[in-house]
Amino acid sequence: MRAPSKTIVRARDLRKAMTLPEVLLWQGLRRGGVAGLRFRRQHPIGPYILDFYSADMVLAVEGDGAAHDHPTQVRHDGERDAWLAARGIAILRFNASDILNEERRRDVLATIAARGAPSTAFGGPPPPLRG
C-alpha cells in the first residue's frame, strides 16, 4: 500500500533519528538476524510509519516508550492497530524497557522469531524435502 509522500519523507527522517530502543532492536532484526526474516525499519504504510515491518510475515513490530501509556496515545494506537488489522497486518508491541534490557531483549527477539516460525498446524508449509 502506497503511503502519502509526506509520510515517506517523515519515515526517511525517522530512520536518521531512531531512538535507542529502536537502534537496539534493529541490530537484532537486520540482515535476517531473527530466524532469517527480513525487516524494514521505519516503514511507511498508508498514513502510518511502522517501527519495523516484515512483508513476508505481514507483521509490524513496535517498540513503545512511556508516551504510549498516555490515554490519548493509547486511543491513537488502538485506531492505528485497527486500521492495520483491517489490512491483514499483525502487530507485536514491546515495551521500550524490555528492549533496553539485554536479557529481556533476547526474549523479545525470541518472541518475534517464534511468530515467524513455520506453522506445523494444518495449513502450514510442508517440511523441506530430503535427498
pLDDT by residue (tens digit) across 70-127? 677 788 888 999 999 999 999 999 999 999 999 999 999 999 998 876 655 555 556 6
Its domain, for residue 108, covers: 18-116
pLDDT by residue (tens digit) across 27-79? 999 988 888 889 999 999 989 999 999 998 999 999 977 665 567 778 888 89
Residue 125 lies in a domain: no
Residue 76 lies in a domain: yes
CB 69 within 8 A of CB 85: no
CATH number at residue 48: 3.40.960.10
Number of domains in the chain: 1
DSSP string, 59-75: EEEEEE-GGGGSHHHHH
Cut 0.85: pTM above it: no
Residue 107 lies in a domain: yes
What is the identity of the amino acid at 70?
A: H
Q: Which of 82, 110, 80, 83 is nearest to 94 (CA)?
A: 110
